[in-house]
Structure 1
Amino acid sequence: MRVTVYTGLIGFGLAGSAFHAPMIAAAEGLHLSAVATSRADAVKAAWPDAAVTTPEALIADPAIDLVVIATPNDSHASLARAALEAGKHVVVDKPFVLDIRDGEQIIALAAEKGCLLSVYQNRRYDDDFLTLAHMLANDRVGEVSLFESRWDKLRTAIKPGWREQPGPGAGLLADLGPHLIDQALRLFGMPDALTADIAIQRPEARVDDYFELTLHYGAMRAILSASTLVARPRPRFALHGTAGSLFSHGLDPQEASLRAGLKPDTQGFAQRAEHEASATLFTGDGDAIEVRYFRGNYAAFYADMADAITKGHEPPVDPADALAVMRLIALARQSAKTGARIAC
């Protein structure tokens, strides 16, 4: 008989309502018991069985086993620390923390309390990334010389909310950087060095809305970039090697489905159109080979978290990995400020 892990979610903005609540509810072994938010009506409409409460009451509730933190970035550290002090297992949305010392202390606290700690790096479960990782592991492009990971959009208007207002944890590098960096580290490990360019390009913008990081791995380069002023997005991924080049366009459709209010068990959830269902491998012989995408699965994160709690498995994302991401973001800001190549 499977043990039920009673789960409390703190935060019901976009992250909590779209990316966490549906995946918690979809994971076997987890039960979404409570949500801490001021948006009581939204919670009751989507999850009528979940109690609506405050962060303090949720953390103090003895019935809650797992606390999921999906709040603005600058509150991650304090809430994670409070939940661990209360003896709860914890999942923190990315970015893990804003201060590396906070991250080190929180990881140590989890070990001291015997609690599991993980970070929601859900882009590890994107369909295109899973496909690319498989191709790399099976040596389909040969020895890699260049990896490009780009996230482009055209959005000239400034969105309301904390992400585009000056303050800790705001800006594009803090928002998308953790995803792109984590994926690169999963594929290639820690680089030897990095160089970075970070800019504010839109006239009304007040926080960074463009970045390009170059990770140096010997002679190989990994370029990670995001922009808000690209009308026709470049390939999401491009992987170049001695045996060919793999190109992937578009985004994993899970986000669009979740934003539209679809749940993982809904028909048509996270399905690409047929003409967008494949990446393309160009070989040195001039062949163009269609490579079908693996199925993306954000819910696997929470299924793995449930197994970690109930079966003693490792958590789906080691918080040390998330801390390595934050270290590279700090080095990127240093590089962009000084114009220097920074050793990692």
Structure 2
Amino acid sequence: MTGTAADPRTIRTAVVGYGLAGSVFHAPLLAANASYSLDVIATSDAARQGSASSRLPGVAVVRDGAAVLQRAADLDLVVLATPPLTHYPLAKAALEAGLDVVVDKPFAVTSTQGQELVALARAEGRVLTVFHNRRWDGDFLTLRKLLATQSLGKVARFESTFERWSPSIAKAWKARATAADGGGVLFDLGTHLIDQALQLFGPATVLHAELQARRSDERADDDAFLALRHQSGVTSHLAMNMLCAQQGPRFRVLGSIGGFTKNGVDPQEPYMAAGGSPRDADYGVEAPEWAGLLGRDGHLDRLATERGNYPEFYRLLGDKILDGGAESSLPLPVNPEDAVEVLKIIERARELVK
């Protein structure tokens, strides 16, 4: 039964993992939504334990996912913000314990694991979703609106790039992780780019793939390029790079009557990392100078960016759970079967470069 006797419409939640994903994304978004109570944080790192206790007074801080599952009777939802290799076993255990589950991306390290989790959630009657939060980036929402209004005509090519300057690997688990462990930029930034392309233009096959490890301590890949051919006829070029000293456009979209170019990266992550709240009036609002360029009829016009909206993920999930969970007809924020398709694209890309 969801909630407590005092508040039966509160979703009792635990976040497992308190690194970037847990501390910057999940915990602030959950704390900003009245449908949830953030009851437990799990992290084995002593500094992160102290940070969680300080920033979230009243929240129980435990060591790991196993300690969270010992409290399953007092919880409704588990959010997994842990390294990719742990996603499958932790999600499986949480579903079997009778809990609804959010898994951060990548969903799992193989599409087979993802399919097994989808089938298990269905058999257990539990809600399962994946945190593909960049469906609510402001620039992506702007592009979706352009496509919905057919402002570009028939799209021929979609170019999507996610680049960072990160010459050293900051996280210990990433420095150790091979591709088989869920390491590398294709599993990290690439998961977002693939999901966005599939959402915009539908199912696709991989035409070409390039995967390189350019940093001396990289054990998987940190420079990747995929060319996808969608059944809709669109060609997607997706590039991701962790050793990029000069970044290119985030999006460039070419259609039969217009084009759209967008620079810069959605501001929601740095805003929350700096301590901002999703409740703030200026949350998700991009500075005007980062507006994209819409080119039609021989001239360029600035196009203001839609407001970013990561809170929408947890709003949709809360509505789903409180409406009856897996039996509700309300949509999931992200269908986990979509995340399986992303993993299949990644697997096909790796097959091509063997």
**What residue number does 1:163 align with?**
174
Give structure 1 stretches of 5+ with no counterpart. 338-344
**What residue number does 1:341 align with?**
none
**What residue number does 1:40 align with?**
49
Equivalent positions of 1:171-210 (< 5 A) are: 171-210=184-223
1: distance between equivalents of 2:164 and 2:106? 21
Structure 1 residue 273 corresponds to structure 2 residue 287: yes
Equivalent positions of 1:170-319 (< 5 A) are: 170-217=183-230, 220-266=234-280, 268-276=282-290, 278-283=291-296, 285-311=297-323, 312=328, 313-319=330-336
Structure 1 residue 325 corresponds to structure 2 residue 345: no
Structure 1 residue 50 corresponds to structure 2 residue 59: yes
2: distance between equivalents of 1:295 and 1:181? 22
Residue 44 of structure 1 aligns to a residue whose secondary structure is helix
Letter in 1 for 2:265: L
Moved over 4 A (4+): none
Change (3 A) 1:63 1:158: closer
User: How far does residue 267 in structure 1 lie from its aligned partner after superposition?
Assistant: 5.3
User: How far does residue 289 in structure 1 lie from its aligned partner after superposition?
Assistant: 1.7
2: distance between equivalents of 1:52 and 1:229? 35
Structure 1 residue 10 corresponds to structure 2 residue 16: yes
Residue 281 of structure 1 aligns to a residue whose secondary structure is strand
Contact 1:7 1:31 in 2 (8 A): yes
Letter in 1 for 2:32: A
Change (3 A) 1:309 1:228: same
1: distance between equivalents of 2:81 and 2:171? 18
Change (3 A) 1:220 1:101: closer
Q: Deviations over 1:254-285 (max 9, x none)?
A: 01112212221245433322212x211011x2
2: distance between equivalents of 1:64 and 1:70? 17
User: How far does residue 292 in structure 1 lie from its aligned partner after superposition?
Assistant: 1.2
Residue 78 of structure 1 aligns to a residue whose secondary structure is helix
Q: Deviations over 1:148-176 (max 9, x none)?
A: 00012223233242223333111111111
User: How far does residue 52 in structure 1 lie from its aligned partner after superposition?
Assistant: 1.1
2: distance between equivalents of 1:18 and 1:327? 28
1: distance between equivalents of 2:207 and 2:277? 39
Residue 174 of structure 1 aligns to a residue whose secondary structure is coil
Q: Alignment length, in residue pairs?
A: 335
1: distance between equivalents of 2:68 and 2:216? 42
With structure 1 as the length reference, what TM-score do the two structures score? Answer: 0.93
* Identical amino acids, percent of aligned pairs: 40
1: distance between equivalents of 2:107 and 2:150? 32
Change (3 A) 1:204 1:193: closer
Residue 271 of structure 2 aligns to a residue whose secondary structure is helix
1: distance between equivalents of 2:93 and 2:218? 34
With structure 2 as the length reference, what TM-score do the two structures score? Answer: 0.91
Structure 1 residue 84 corresponds to structure 2 residue 116: no
Q: CA-atom RMSD, angstroms?
A: 1.6
Structure 1 residue 126 corresponds to structure 2 residue 137: yes
User: How far does residue 200 in structure 1 lie from its aligned partner after superposition?
Assistant: 1.2
